[in-house]
Amino acid sequence: MDPDRFDADETPLDEVLAACQALSFGGLRVVIVDNADRWKAADGERVAAYLGDANPMTVLALVAPDGVPQRLLHAVREHGEALHWGPDPKAKDRERRKWLETHVEGEVGRLGGRIAPAAARALVDRVATDLRDRRRFGDAVLALGNEAAKLVAYADGAPVDRETVAALTPAHPEARVYELSDAVTTGRAPDAFRLLQDMATGEQPVAPIVVQAGLLRHFRSIAAVQAAGGAPTADVVTRATGLAGFPARKLAEQVPGIPAGAGGRAVARLARLELDLRVGAETQLGRSSDDGRRFVLERAVHDLLRIMAGRPERATAGT
């Protein structure tokens, strides 16, 4: 039979269990539940109880990017099989990155190629986005597989080196802008300015207007959540911004530490930044217009850090 697919975030547990217990006259029934890690402990106990007396004509498959309740995991291992792929759900970013590097080496080898560890690290650096977001992590795995196939075909038997990676694999500016937004929101000034320097240099610098647009999306979401009022739960974030999953939970964690009204002030500052980047006189500073735009962007990030700390912006002359 065609599988029945549910999302634990969206479907009541009673509906999932009813599908598992329904009689099947057309063959083996498969019930797939995505995001089973979102079940609470009490829900996990109910599913574990079902597994102890399961419908023999139903196969229940639980897909859990993060860890499921322990009793449920024990029941799965007792009555079925627990399969694991990817890094440990509690792994730190560097451990997730190391897992991706090993995955790249394995994919290149499976395709008949060779890649040095330094080149695998360079490929992950260029492709991977925020590794704490399970959706972005999954996207990175798929993208790395595609890049591995492309690099092996281009190398034509030769080892894939860092120069080949730099020549054939474009960097994803969204990843660095996301990291910058996070650093500014949490007040990590050294990280913010290091990221700005990284995006200003290298073979594929990120245009200041692209950075401005990414920051504006982030702080518009913060302003919308602050305007909604009340406790900023993940559900509140989703209703206010449309974000879901990890991004919503991450924003829900950040907003309580942000001064009231700071999101709106940041949006206003970023609107001025866009105007400065497009027609401001200060963009003519330096040896090129890009020097001026970088200066204007860095000054805006400095102001954003002050806003996030609850301090006034610096007084500046008009442009």
pLDDT digits (tens, 9 = 90+) for 23-75: 877 788 899 998 898 888 899 999 999 999 999 999 999 998 777 888 899 99
Question: What domains sit in the chain, N to C, each tagged with a CATH number?
Answer: 4-79 (3.40.50.300), 93-168 (1.10.8), 173-308 (1.20.272.10)
pLDDT at 211 over 60: yes
Q: Which residues contact 278 (CB under 8 A, 6 or more apart)?
A: 209
Q: How confident is the model at residue 93 (pLDDT cuts 50, 70, 90)?
A: confident
Whether residue 223 is predicted with pLDDT greater than 90 in this model: the reply is: yes
Residues 91 and 131: their CA atoms lie apart, in Å, by 10
Structural tokens at position 289:
């217009």
- Tens digits of residue pLDDT in 274-296: 888 887 666 666 566 577 888 88
Distance CA 263, CA 139 (A): 29
For residue 243, the 8-state DSSP code is -
**Contact criterion met (CB below 8 Å) for 237 and 207:** no
Task: Outline where 32-133 has alpha helix (H).
Answer: 41-52, 70-79, 93-110, 117-127
pLDDT tens digits for range 135-187: 667 767 877 888 898 899 999 999 999 999 988 887 666 667 878 888 999 99
Global pTM reads 0.50
CA distance 208 to 202: 14
How many Å is the maximal CA-CA distance in the chain? 77
And the tokens for 121? 């690290």
Task: State how far the Cα of 121 lies from the Cα of 204, in Å rounded to an integer.
Answer: 17
Q: In whole angstroms, what is the distance from residue 235 CA to residue 8 CA?
A: 14
**Mean pLDDT confidence for 102-122:** 93
**What's the mean pLDDT when you consider all of the chain?**
85
Q: Which residue in 206, 208, 204 sits closest to 216, CA to CA?
A: 208
> Cα 224 from chain centroid?
20
- 264 contacts 223 by C-beta, under 8 angstroms: yes
